[in-house]
Amino acid sequence: MSFKIGARVETEKGRGVVEFYGETEFAEGTWVGVNLDEPNGKHDGTVKGMRYFECEPNHGIFLKANQVRLESRGKSGMRLPTSIRKDVRSKISPVTSPKMTPSSSTEKLKTMSGITGPSAKKQSKEDMRESTGRLGGQSLSQTTMEESFNASQKSQSHTDETPLKSSGIPKKSSIVSKLGSVLSATNAEGKAIAESLPLSVPLPPDMDERSELEWLRIQHKDLSEKLESLRIKRKEDHIKLVEFERNRIQLESLLQFRAKILEEQTSLQRKLQEKEKELRDVLDSKGNENDSLAEIEERLELITIEKEMAEEKVDILQAEVEAEKQRVQELEVELDLLRSEMEQAGDGSFQACLHQRLYCNQWSSEIEQY
């Protein structure tokens, strides 16, 4: 069982307020530090030179959690007779305000304790009516708290309607709903405590002065304790509201950051698609270049073969040219011989020799063709 700081508790040493809850250096385990109402403790919140909380001397004590219990909220002390309690219940009116101060009631109780006779009794009744009437005349702050929370929740509803992709960040609506449920629970507790407060009650006419004063003291003590509980609740509510506002601002900044991240992600995806398209185009062009390169290599091989054949043909033609040159030289030699023979012989013998030479050349050419 855990205890909140400021909670009213009951111990074997008496009642008090929780000032510390947790582990200590003087002993192992979890301890509850209590500031007792009466000087029945052992220290002032300091143990072995280590201060854990502040209180009056002999008002502080450390106990285990199983030795401490929350203070009951039921009415304690003297109880009125059954007939008087029924008359009191019939005249109860709702109390709606936790904002009350016991100072004026305390002072008036002290004043009443020193007054004797009928005037004291009359004065105490009027003062009690005034103090209890003041309790019924003030209003709770839970309604204002709920209205401000609902207004802030409505003003932020348009942000929740924007569709967002799933990520590690929780949705704003879930956080707001959780905070709203916490605030509603605390407000409900505050209302329940406020409704349990003793209401404006007329004093029974048949009570003597001593019993009346004792009854008033008991009622005042109950009111003071419950008022302290309400103050603690309101302080916790204020802390929760501050935490809610801080979480709301942090959530808005996270949502803005998330929107920027989504925009950058979209931009990066678009650039990635463009780069993939460029890569596919490059690969396609490279494939085409590979095909063209294969064709060029085939053509190069063909050209090389044709070149080799042409070189062989050139060699053959060169040999033929050389042979023709040699034949031309031979023919020139024969022509010179014929000219010399023509000069030595006459025209008839020259023509006969010429016909004979032409016939021999024709006959040799025909033999070469076969």
- Output the pTM of the full model: 0.28
Distance (Å, whole) CA 135 – CA 226? 12
Predicted local distance difference test score (pLDDT) of residue 155: 45
10 Å Cβ neighbour count for 230? 20
Q: Residue 2 phi/psi, 5° resolution?
A: -105, 155
Distance (Å, whole) CA 74 – CA 83? 20
Predicted local distance difference test score (pLDDT) of residue 75: 41
Extended strands (E) in the chain: 8-11, 14-23, 30-36, 46-47, 50-51, 60-64, 69-70
10 Å Cβ neighbour count for 209? 16
Distance (Å, whole) CA 89 – CA 140? 22
Predicted local distance difference test score (pLDDT) of residue 277: 92
Positions of the chain with pLDDT lower than 70, given as ranges: 1, 73-207, 346-370
4 and 32 Cβ atoms separated by less than 8 Å: no
Predicted local distance difference test score (pLDDT) of residue 245: 93
Predicted local distance difference test score (pLDDT) of residue 88: 38
Predicted local distance difference test score (pLDDT) of residue 209: 82
Predicted local distance difference test score (pLDDT) of residue 353: 63
